[in-house]
Amino acid sequence: MDLTALYTTIAFYVFALAAVVSGAAMIVSRNMVRSALWLVATLGSVAALYLLLSADFLAVSQVLVYIGAIMILMLFAIMLTPGQVDIPTQARGQQVAAGIVAAAIFGISVSVVLSHDWKLRPDVFDLPTTWLLGTLLFSTYVLPLMIAALLLTAAMIGALVIARED
Amino acid sequence: MPIPLAPVGLQHFLVLGTALFSLGLFGALSRRNAVAVLLSVELMLNGVNVLLVAFAKYTVSAEMLAGQVFAIFIITVAAAEAAVGLAIILAIYRLRRTVQLDRLDIING
């Protein structure tokens, strides 16, 4: 194994472990503020993994949109609902059921992933993606892009209307 | 099974994305705080995004970056969902003074 592959492997395991551990910590910690901060750690690790997958634009948008905007929104929601930071989790029975469902989905998906014969790309794909993504978004995917813009506008207006104090 | 420290490939990322998705699913089903459920849904969306970007890098497809474009749209939808979801949670909190899901039985009549 050459040195680059070794570094990639080490980086993958470090960030994958960080993502899964902080994701699990987010699920189990009862305090909502801690939960949100653990999710920030997960999102940051996922951004690093995007870099390993040669998705530079997505890694930066992950930091800007998820960590910068969505998580701030979540923290605002936590702070605007005082007295609600420390709600216990669901009853034991529902937790066991949820665990069974999640574990079953994980098991089935992993067995499919490992047994399926994926059609792998012969060449190594490693390009700066920003220019390519911009070209794609404004040519092939221009209709979905406009729909996404409309969706965002509708969501912002809807959020304003719903959250307004009458 | 991918043996530890084998060169990282598609399957490593697929297993990781599935793990994040399942963790988020467990959280969405087992938390009682509405905001925590929204956070768990964000975790699920991120797991799916990891899968899409991994497919874009490693598998053969007609359009080289289709997976990454799709991931961008998922981020957009996640932002919209978070904004509307949090607005609904705030409105409910103003009405009922709680965001504990099993106390929110307004729709039960």
Residues contacting A44, CB < 8 A, separation 6+:
A63, A67
Question: B71 and A68 in contact (C-beta within 8 Å)?
Answer: no
Domain membership of residue A4 (yes or no) is yes
In a domain, residue A119? The reply is: no
A135 and A84 within one domain: no
Domain B10-100 carries which CATH code? Answer: 1.10.287.3510
Residue B55 token pair: 């497919």
Distance from CA of B95 to the nearest CA of A (A): 11
Tell me what the mean pLDDT of segment A89-93 comes to: 77
**In the predicted model, is pLDDT for residue B2 greater than 50?**
no
Using left for φ > 0, alpha for ψ between -120 and 50, and beta otherwise, residue A54 falls in left
% chain A with pLDDT above 90: 55
3-state percent helix, strand, coil for chain B, nearest multiple of 5: 75, 5, 20
What phi, psi does B59 have (nearest 5°)?
-105, 160
The predicted model gives B43-47 an average pLDDT of 95
ipTM over cut 0.95: no
List the structure tokens of B15: 């297993």
Same domain membership, residue A138 and residue A76:
no
Mutation choice for B interface testing from A67, A70, A95 by most B CBs within 10 A: A70
Residue pLDDT, tens place only, A124-150? 777 788 898 999 999 999 999 999 999
- Higher-confidence residue of B6 and B67: namely B67
Domain CATH for A89: 1.20.120.1200
Domain co-membership, A149 together with A94:
no
Beta bridge partners, B33, equal B100
Question: Are B16 and A1 a contacting pair at CB < 8 A?
Answer: no
Domain shared by A62 and A140, yes or no: no
Residue A153: domain span: 128-166
What would you report as the CA-atom Rg of chain B, rounded to the nearest whole angstrom? Answer: 18
**Closest CA of chain B from A58, distance in Å:** 7
A123 inside domain: no
Residue A140 maps to a domain: yes
B6 — pLDDT class (breaks 50, 70, 90): low
Distance CA B55, CA B59 (A): 5
Q: Do A155 and B83 touch (CB under 8 A)?
A: yes
Query: Within chain A, where are the H helices?
Result: 3-28, 32-52, 56-61, 71-80, 92-115, 130-137, 142-163
A93 and A163 together in one domain? no
Cβ atoms of A103 and B22 closer than 8 Å: yes
Residues A136, A104 share a domain: no
What is residue A87's predicted lDDT score, i.e. its pLDDT?
73
Question: Do the Cβ atoms of B39 and A36 come within 8 Å?
Answer: yes
pLDDT of residue B81: 92
Residues A17 and A83 placed together within one structural domain of the fold: yes
For residues A60 and A21, membership in a common domain is answered with yes
How do the domains of chain B map onto residue ranges?
Answer: 10-100
Residue A132 and residue A100 in one domain: no
**Cross-chain residue pair B30–A144, CB shorter than 8 Å:** no
User: Would you say residue A122 lies in a domain?
Assistant: no
Query: How many angstroms separate the CA atoms of A82 and A78, rounded?
Result: 7
For residue A149, the tally of other CB atoms under 10 A from its CB is 11
A45 and A83 inside one domain: yes
Chain B CA closest to residue A24: B23
Looking at residue B63, what is its pLDDT?
Answer: 78
